[in-house]
Amino acid sequence: MIPVQPTLDAESKVGFVVSKAVGNSVVRHRVSRRLRHVLRDRLASLPAGSSLVVRALPPAATASSAELAEDVDAALRRLVR
């Protein structure tokens, strides 16, 4: 079997883990949508072909979109440096 190497022009992928600890299904889906919106504009800053998994913690249920964006930006700065 030949291993498949990602090409330089491969798209970056993002996945979300939002457990029941965050809230009921409505709250979890809302958090997922907000995180998806925040990360949509930030995909270009990731290295080509990278995969990112974002795990939402329970405080994400009450965080504003601006707070989520700040947290994502801080995590991406640590990741990409």
Distance, CA of 39 to CA of 20 (rounded, Å)? 22
pLDDT at residue 39 in the model: 94
pLDDT at residue 6 in the model: 52
On whether the CB atoms of residues 73 and 42 are closer than 8 A, the answer is: yes
Within 13 Å, how many C-alpha atoms sit on residue 73's CB side?
8
pLDDT at residue 7 in the model: 53
Q: Closest by alpha carbon to 16, among 67, 49, 51, 56?
A: 56
Distance, CA of 6 to CA of 8 (rounded, Å)? 7
What is the third-level CATH fold of 13-80? Ribosomal Protein S5; domain 2 (3.30.230)
pLDDT at residue 23 in the model: 97
Per residue of the chain (81 residues), what is the pLDDT tens digit? 555 555 556 788 999 999 999 999 999 999 999 999 999 988 888 888 889 999 999 999 999 999 999 999 999 999 877
Domain-wise residue ranges, the chain: 13-80
